[in-house]
Structure formats: C-alpha cells, structure tokens
Chain A
Amino acid sequence: MTRMMTTNARTTAGRIAAPVGVAAALIGTLTGCSTATTAEPPADQPAQPVDASYRDGMYLADGGYESPNGSETITVEIELTNDIVTGVVVTSNPTNPTTANFQSKFADGIGDIVIGQDIDKLDVTVVAGSSLTGNGFREAITTIKAEALVG
C-alpha cells in the first residue's frame, strides 16, 4: 500500500472550494461507493468557529469498485478547513498487479496528461523517453499478468 498526494486532486479541490456536500459527492465520484467516513479532528478547535457545518480535520473514506480483475478498493482522505477541501490524498489498495499499475498511474496523475503532438507526424530522428524494456522484463510482466488471471 502506498500513499500519494496527487497534485491534480489537490489543485481541483482547492479551486472549486467545495462545501462539504460537494466534497461528499467528490468522494462518491472517486470511490464508487463510499462505505465509511471517520473524522479525527484536531484536539484544539478554534474557540469561535466560523459558519461551518463540519469540524475542521481529516476525513477518510474507503470505496470499492469492480475492475475486470475483481473487487478493488481505494481510500480517499480529505482535509476540511471551514467547509473547504484543502487537501486530498488518494491511497490505492490493489490486490492485483494489473490493477496496481493502473491505480498507481491514476494516483501519480500520469493518466491525466494529454499534452503533446503526434510523434509520427514529426520529422524526427530518434524518440527519447524511458528505455524500452528488454525481453526479460517483458516476460516477467506477462507471467505476473497470467498468474493474476488464474488467481
């Protein structure tokens, strides 16, 4: 299990300045079906709270969804300040390596990047990204995927 702060999520949450109702909807969107909400507010609350419906603090929600590989879960942690979402941490709990790969892409925010131009329309000599993997690595990944299907 890893925890990653997703910059995208934080930016979006901050920008919409969502009241808690919207935050709950956001949790629902992220997790499919939200099953639990627990609050661990800081011990020393401000003496004169502003017009807030919920206490400041960190809120946790676990969600499940059905992937082609079976049931998977994801945990979303939201920080509320004056009913405003000020932080979001998404924790994925994959049970399957294939899902893990997709979830980590989601959690890294890699899946959201759409910038660029089509390489085959550019007049270039060489393409430089991460090195293509060799046969050994590819075979190992294939084996893991096959085992995951059986399991």
Chain B
Amino acid sequence: MVGPSSFEAIGTPWRIGHGGAETPVGSLGAALAPDDLTAVLERIEQFDRDWSRFRDDSLVSRIAREAGSWRLPADARPMLALYEQLHALTDARLTPLVGASLERLGYDAAYRLTPSGAPLPAPSWADTIALRHTVEGITLDTVAPVVLDVGAAGKGYLVDLVGDLLAARGVGDSVVDASGDVRVRGERSIRVALENPADPTKAVGVVELHNAALCASAINRRAWGNGLHHIIDAVTGLPVDQGVIATWVVADTALVADGLATALFFAEPVRLAEAFSFEWVRLTSDGRLDASPGLRGELFA
C-alpha cells in the first residue's frame, strides 16, 4: 500500500510523507526512500539519547545524577533560547527544570504514574543552571543534579530537525507529523483537523497549513489520575488547572508552535504575542473556543 512512512519514536507515533502540490489533501504523501528513513530514525535516536529523561543512558539522565559542567549538543541552542523566552513570558511557570516535579507526580522513566509525595515546585533557573556560550558550543553548569524535561518544546523541535535533515537530503516537499505536532514544507497545503479532547472522533475546527507548523497540546491523553496530567505549573509543582484544556498554535517552526501551545496554558495570547508571531486556538473547560483573528481555517463551535 502506498502511504507515508510510519513508526513509533520518543513515545509517540510518527508519520512522514513527501509529495508536491498534486498530493491529495487526504494523503500525507509517499513513503520516504529507505536511506532517508534510516537517516531520520538515526536523527531521532540521537535527539532521544541527548534529551530523553525516559532512558538511563541519555545526557539528561546523567545531568540528573550528578552536578557538573556538561557540553550540550549543537541542537541545544535554539531550544534553550526558546525556553528562556517562555520562562520569562510565563513568570517562570514554564521551565525545562520541571522534570523532578513530573517525577514526583508519577510521570517518571518507570511510568509509576503514582505520586510519591507532595507536589514539588521546580527549582529556580538562576539558582540551578547556568549556560556558557563558548566557541565549542553551549556548556551547562549545574551545582546539583537537576532533572531537565524538554517536553514542552522538544517534540516540535525534533519535527523541525527531521524536516531540516530531509531538506538537506533533497526532500524539500515533506509533511512530518509527530502525532499532533506537524510541519509542512514545499508547494502543497494541508488541512489539519483540531481534535476535540473530549471526543477524539470530533474536530472543533480545521486549519489550512502551508509552509508552516501546527502544534497541539491537550490534557486528555498524558493523564493518569485525579487531575494529574503532564502540563505542570513549575511554580506550584501541580498540573495546571486554569480552565484551558486544549491549545493549537500555527507558527513558522514547530519549535515555536510547540512551545507556545504549552505556554498558552499559562499565559494570555496577547502577552506571548509581544515576542512571537503566531496564530492560535484555545479550548476551555466550559466549551468555549477562542482563536486569533488571523487564523486560516474554520471553527465548528
């Protein structure tokens, strides 16, 4: 059967297709050539080995075991720069230092999914980590073990990196869909259904996407108990509970779209728009659907 390449990686299903403007709207496009797919899987594996707190041999797991000076991979700079911005725009409620808070609530490498104590606020950025920019790259200095979690923006960033890799290999017309985080490049436009978190058979809207990324965030799937889900307010150490249940962001890159989709759980769109150019949709628990005026698509509220 002709269809996109499909696989599971970093804990979620992926689909990648390539094809130009003639590709039917309902199709992601054709599967990647075997050597392109191999290169993609190696790139994802490298990112996972660096950034996953769910594997013992990752750089992040070593940083979680002992203090020290850690040379970060070359791809760290844009992601950490985004985190620094979002940290400031959400008054420290969004931070990559939230890993220990997630582990406390049970979302740890062993998937215990049972809280092991009182909620743990994340440590302060300034007291815990320092980034040194040197000619060799970025070095992370820590004074104590720290559990980094790049869940807010890491997957979107990896979608960008995979598309970059494909473009460098001559595959310029691609759709990379990492289950909710998608980026389309080239001539074609795609239509993206915005899934209703209360009913995955329903869409609350459809967005047209051309040379852009759309990332979604919602509290319905990575949830494991009474009010426990994966979007943690770093200030309290508790899952955020402000009435936002799902967000979607369209931006030039999936890195920015993914980070902003999480940030919308903590900050008003107008504040994030001080620093970023993006379109957004937000669903609240009373069923209200809000969107930015410039959104290309339709809502079914």
Interfacial residues, chain A to chain B (CB-CB below 8 A): 1-2, 4, 6-8, 11, 92, 94, 97, 100-101, 103-105, 107-120, 122-137, 139-141, 144
Query: Given known contacts A97-B225, A126-B193, A127-B192, is B198 in contact with A111 (CB within 8 Å)?
Result: yes
Chain A residues within 8 Å of B286, by CB: 7-8, 11, 109
Complex Cα gap A100–B226 (Å): 5
Q: What is the chain B residue whose CB lies nearest that of A130?
A: B218
A2 touching B226, Cβ below 8 Å: yes
B68 within 8 A of A: no
A117 touching B202, Cβ below 8 Å: yes
Apart from A101-B224, A129-B221, A134-B10: 6 A-B pairs, beta carbons within 8 A? A97-B113, A103-B226, A118-B201, A124-B203, A132-B221, A136-B11
Which of A4, A122, A134 meets B241, CB within 8 Å?
A: A4
Complex Cα gap A104–B206 (Å): 28
A128 touching B111, Cβ below 8 Å: no
- Within the complex, the shortest CB–CB distance from A114 to chain B, in Å, comes to 7
Which of B25, B155, B219, B223 meets A125, CB within 8 Å?
A: B25
B: number of interface residues (CB 8 Å): 66
B27 touching A125, Cβ below 8 Å: yes
- Within the complex, the shortest CB–CB distance from A24 to chain B, in Å, comes to 25
A110 touching B220, Cβ below 8 Å: yes
Q: Mark B22-38, 1 if CB is under 8 A from A, else 0.
A: 00011110000000000
Which of B191, B226, B243, B246 meets A104, CB within 8 Å?
A: B226
Q: Mark B2-21, 1 if CB is under 8 A from A, else 0.
A: 00000010111100000000
A101 touching B223, Cβ below 8 Å: yes
Query: Given known contacts A11-B286, A126-B182, A137-B11, is B221 in contact with A118 (CB within 8 Å)?
Result: no
Partner-contacting stretch, out of B74-82, B131-139, B172-180: B172-180
A116 touching B204, Cβ below 8 Å: yes
Chain A residues within 8 Å of B179, by CB: 131-132
Complex Cα gap A80–B233 (Å): 31
Partner-contacting stretch, out of B84-92, B163-171, B209-217: B209-217
Complex Cα gap A37–B286 (Å): 28
A129 touching B206, Cβ below 8 Å: no
